[in-house]
Amino acid sequence: MGDLAGGTSSRSTGLIHGGLRYLEHYDFRLVREALREREVLLRIAPHIVRPVRIVLPYRPGLRPAWLLRLGLFIYDHIGGRKLLPATRTLDLARDPAGAPLKPGMFRTGFAFSDCRADDARLVVLNARDAADHGAVIRTRTKVVTARRSESHWAITAEDKATGERDTIAASTLVNATGPWVEETLTSCLGKDFTSAMRRRVRLVQGSHIVVPKLFEHGGAYVFQNPDGRIVFALPYDGKHTLIGTTDRDFVGDPARVAATAEEIQYLCEAASEYFARSISLADVVWSYSGVRPLHDDDDGHARDAAAATRDYVLELDAPPAAAPLLSILGGKITTYRRLAEAALERLAPFLRPASRLRAGWTASDALPGGGGLAADTTALARMLTRDYPFLEPAHARRLAATYGDRAERILAGARTAADLGIAFGATLTEAEVRHLVTEEFARTAEDVLWRRTKLGLAISEIDTVGLNRFMAVAGAPRAMAP
C-alpha cells in the first residue's frame, strides 16, 4: 500500500545473519536456516550483501567467556559456513579493534563473521527480479476488499495516488502484510478471519540511532548489556555510525512508529558503556524505528520482547470448495527467500502445473546487478572509471556498490558529466533518478533518497527541494495496466 520497503523492511539493522543470541533461546533450526541463507544471499547479491567482521568484547560479570566461545563455535559450524572466515579471539589491548573502546576496560574480544546488506535495496531488487520474470508490481496500491469464491479470489485494489480502482482475479491469495497481517484479515476480507487463526502476531518495536563516525575500520561491534540485550554498532554511509536496536512491545498504528526518547537514551547509554567517546542525545543526527511482526509463541507475552522468536509461521486457510488463503506471521529479512519457497510449497497443491516454477532456482540465479564483476565492486568501479573517464572515483564506487553490473545502464551513452543531466548533489544525477523511476518503481524523492540510494543524510535541503520538484513530474504514476 506504500513504497517498496516503505515499512519494516527498510528499518532493520541491515544485518544478514543467523542471530547469535537466538542460540540462547534454543532456536537452532532458525539459526541453521538463517546461516545457510546468509551464504546464499552473499552469492546471489554480492554487490549489496557483503561480509562484515563483528567484534564482541568480553565484559566481566555478564555472559562468561566460555559460554561466548561455545556459542561462537556452534555459530561457526551449525550452518555449513563455506565463504566466510571463522571466529578468532582478540587481544583488545593490542588489536586495532580495541582502539575505539574505553581504555583498559576490555582486554579480550571475539571477532566473528556475518554479512550486512542494504535492506531496502534487497527488497527492490527482488521486486525488479519478479518483474523481469513476468510479475506485475504495483506500489502505492491498497487492497480494499477481497472476496472468496469456490474457484478464485476477487480483489479490489485502489491506486492511492490516482484513486483508480480495479478488480484482480487470483486462484490463491497470500497475506504478507507484515505488521498489518491481522488487520488485513479483518478489514479487507469482509469477515473476522482473525478469530479462526491458530497463531497470533506480536508487534515488537525496534529503533536505531545514527551518530558521527565512532571508528575508522570497516568492521562492526556487538555489545552485551546488563539487561541481557545486545546492541550493534556498524559503519553507516562512510561518515556515521549506526547503533541499534531496541526491543519493546508496540501498540498502535505501525505506520506512525517512531523512536522514543527513552529508546534513544537507552542506545546512547549502551554504546557509551563501551566506546571511549561518550554519546549523548546531541550526537544523534537521525533515528528511525520499525515494527517487527513476530510470531507470538508465548501467549500472554510473559517472555521479554527480545526473546520472542524471529522464526516464521505459515497459516493456511483452505476449506473445501474455496480458494486458499495463506497468511505469513513472523520471519526475518535474512530468511525471506526460504520463507517464499516454503510458502510456494504449501500452495503447490492448489496451483496449476503450468503455474509452478522450477524448484530452487532463486538459490542460484543472481539478483539484478549481481552477476559479472558484482562480487568485486572495487574492480567494477575501476572498470567504470576506465570506460567513463569523467566519473569521479567516489561516484564510480557508489554506483558499483549500489547497482552492480547494471550500473552501466545508468551511464550508457554518456561522454561527459553533463550527459548525465541534472546534478542533485552527493553524486546523484538525473540519469540515475530516471533509472530508479523506470526500473525500480520510485515515485518520490523519499523513495530515491531513503530507500533506493540511502543518500538522505548526504543531500542538502536545497538539493532535496530540487529533487522533489523533478520527481513531481518524473515520478508521476503511469496509467494502470489492464
412-413-418-424 Cα dihedral, nearest 10 degrees: -20
Q: Can you list the residues of the chain whose pLDDT is less than 50? A: 301-302, 479-482
Length of the chain (residues): 482
Phi (first) and psi of residue 291, to 5 degrees: -110, 120
pTM of the model: 0.94
Identify the burial level of 351 via C-beta atoms within 10 angstroms of its C-beta, where 0-12 means exposed, 13-18 middle and 19 or more buried: middle
Identify the burial level of 422 via C-beta atoms within 10 angstroms of its C-beta, where 0-12 means exposed, 13-18 middle and 19 or more buried: middle
pLDDT for 302: 46
Q: Establish if 456 belongs to a structural domain.
A: yes
pLDDT for 298: 62
Q: Establish if 289 belongs to a structural domain.
A: no
Q: Establish if 409 belongs to a structural domain.
A: yes
Q: Establish if 396 belongs to a structural domain.
A: yes
pLDDT for 296: 79
Q: Establish if 364 belongs to a structural domain.
A: no
Q: Establish if 432 belongs to a structural domain.
A: yes
**Residues paired with 53 in a beta bridge:** 113
Q: Establish if 404 belongs to a structural domain.
A: yes
Residue 452 CA to residue 44 CA, distance in Å, equals: 19
pLDDT for 61: 92
Domain count, the chain: 1
Sign of CA dihedral 121, 400, 459, 443: negative
CA distance between the termini of the chain: 19
CATH number at residue 418: 1.10.8.870
pLDDT for 188: 81
Domain that holds residue 434: 372-474
pLDDT for 125: 98
Q: Establish if 329 belongs to a structural domain.
A: no
